[in-house]
Amino acid sequence: MTSPYPSRRLAFAGIGLLAPLAACGGLIPSAPKRDIYRLHPNVAFAAPLSRVPAQVLVSTPLASAALDSDRIALSRSAASLDFYADAQWADRVPFLVQAAIIQAFEQSGTLPAIGPDTGDLRPDFVINTEIRDFEAAYDSPTGAPKAVVRLQVKLVKMPDRRIVAETMVAGEAPAMANTLAEIVPAFDAALGAALRDLVMWTAQNPALSARRR
């Protein structure tokens, strides 16, 4: 006789198959556990900057596939790029850099309005960046590395989306030891130096003060 409950029989058969699979363990590998690090770049200015009456958006930086990641990159030669095995950033590098750029402008007090390109702000300008370098560079197999940050920056006038200025900002800082506890602060220092130059270059750019002429 055909059972009136075929779906129930199939369900119990499925449960019977799942039990030995669960007992095997290791069939579905778990994600590796890594220490998570945040960035706290220190952006210092030698003197107060003039306030510029312009609203600016900061777009999400572009990056190569290797740097568009939450992994902490390292380089042992000009042609190589690798990652620390047991560590990662708190977010993907482009998002960390975008947030750091916005925070640097807020600390400088140069602009009345600054924010990400996902906001409702109607900008006079947009800052586009490309991350060219964001890694710990080693000069020797056993020595401590230096953090290297290099950003290509474009100032885009809105609403016609015309590039009015372009520059490269960079920062380098040596780590005090070959440990992540010392390498991460080196990233903070290198990024802070690059952001200081970015803010000063933007605030002093003639295009901002001449935007309403």
Looking at residue 14, its pLDDT comes to: 39
Give residue limits of the domains in the chain.
Answer: 50-209
Looking at residue 17, its pLDDT comes to: 37
pTM, rounded to two decimals: 0.83
Pick from 95, 112, 107, 108: nearest CA to 58: 95
Looking at residue 18, its pLDDT comes to: 37
Looking at residue 6, its pLDDT comes to: 42
Tokens coding 64: 């190569």
Q: What are phi and psi of 107, to 5 degrees?
A: -65, -35
For domain 50-209, the CATH superfamily is ABC-type transport auxiliary lipoprotein component (3.40.50.10610)
Successive 10-residue mean pLDDT values, the chain, 213 residues: 40 38 52 88 87 93 97 93 96 98 94 86 93 96 94 95 96 97 98 97 85 50
Amino acid letter for position 90: A
126 contacts 117 by C-beta, under 8 angstroms: yes
- Between CA 24 and CA 31, with CA 30 as vertex, the angle to 5 degrees is 165
Looking at residue 87, its pLDDT comes to: 96
